[in-house]
Amino acid sequence: MQLTILGYNSAIPTMHSNPTAQYLNIRESGILIDCGEGTQVQLRKAKIKFNSINQIFISHLHGDHVFGLPGFLSTLALLGRTTSLTIYGPKGIKEFIENQLKVTQSRREYELIFIELHSTQSELIFENKKFEVYTIPLNHRTYTNGYLFKEKPLQRNLNIEAIKHYSEIQTCDYQNIKDGKDFILSDGFIVKNESLTFDPPKPKSYAFCSDTMYNESILPIIKEVDLLYHEATFLEELKKLAFKTGHSTALEAGSIASQANVKKLIIGHFSNRYLDYNVLLEEAKQQFKNTELPITLQTIDI
């Protein structure tokens, strides 16, 4: 699982950073998370193939999280895409996109599938053999979800040296052993799977918490994730402003990470009033030491 930071600042783009957008690669499945202005340019810079993206997850319908989406979808049409693309987002995302494409007379040969969300409870919204995705209900000025991405366990790894001790085990039996099944010899003796295999790598998890006020209700959902991205728009001295605008302080982001016992925290969505993001980093570290600042186009191995 790899995460590429495409943009991380708040509403207004700067010379050095773009609004929120991330690319997540889970076992060669490409996922776009939010799509702020300039996202497709960032994808180009990161050398990410546009057509590798088959799912887009939008947290909410504020412009700095969706204004890059119509242009990206139009570019896919120009690139000759024919495979379907699924967009998950709040109710209204379908109307927003279809109106933009209609007014601009954009044509496409691929199908757009919209999954509009409205529940205020965490729910499983996608699942395949590789991973599953859950919503993380957030508390912002408008209906907003974060997303939890969880890998499914890999198959167990064969211990070939151990298998060689049992002549009855044939190559055709390997798949069952990888699936965790014991092997029964012709005399009825059961060879435990643990003696024939090694544990696979532990499944990874990533939680994306976009714009939100301090919200302890998300703690059970994001508990012990390998990586948490959490907005940290303001310093604690502007806590009242954070509350008024539906955002979090860096101290609050660190507190959420600490209480959830996550392995690493990345903060973002910084107010443009801060020229040095290290002040936000140091405040978050007061609550959670393993906190990092985002780096544009950085790819993180989760």
What structural domains and CATH numbers belong to the chain?
2-154+201-301 (3.60.15.10), 157-198 (no CATH)
Residue 30: per-residue pLDDT: 97
Task: Report the distance separating Cα 59 and Cα 40, nearest Å.
Answer: 18
Taking Cα atoms as reference points, which of 295, 297, 246, 237 lies closest to residue 268?
A: 295
Told to judge if 187 belongs to the known catalytic residues of this protein, a careful annotator would answer no
Write the DSSP string, 76-98: HHHTT--S-EEEEEETTHHHHHH
Q: DSSP assignment, residue 194?
A: G
Q: For strand 190-191 and strand 197-198, is the pairing parallel, antiparallel, or unpaired?
A: unpaired
- Active-site option among 64, 182, 211, 276: 64
User: pLDDT 10s digit of each residue in the chain, 302 long?
Assistant: 999 999 999 988 888 889 999 999 999 999 999 999 999 999 999 999 999 999 999 999 999 999 999 999 999 999 999 999 999 999 999 999 999 999 999 999 999 999 999 999 999 999 999 999 999 999 999 999 999 999 999 889 999 999 999 999 999 999 999 999 999 999 999 999 999 999 988 999 999 999 999 999 999 999 999 999 999 999 999 999 999 999 999 999 999 999 999 999 999 999 999 999 999 999 999 999 999 999 999 999 99
Q: What are phi and psi of 15, to 5 degrees?
A: -65, -25
Task: Report the distance separating Cα 98 and Cα 245, nearest Å.
Answer: 29
What 3-state class would DSSP assign to 21? strand
Q: Tell me the pTM.
A: 0.91
Give the tokens for residue 131: 């991973």
Task: Report the distance separating Cα 207 and Cα 221, nearest Å.
Answer: 9
208-245 pLDDT, tens digit per residue, is 999 999 999 999 999 999 999 999 999 999 999 999 99
Q: Would you tell me how many other CB atoms lie within 10 Å of the CB of residue 22?
A: 27
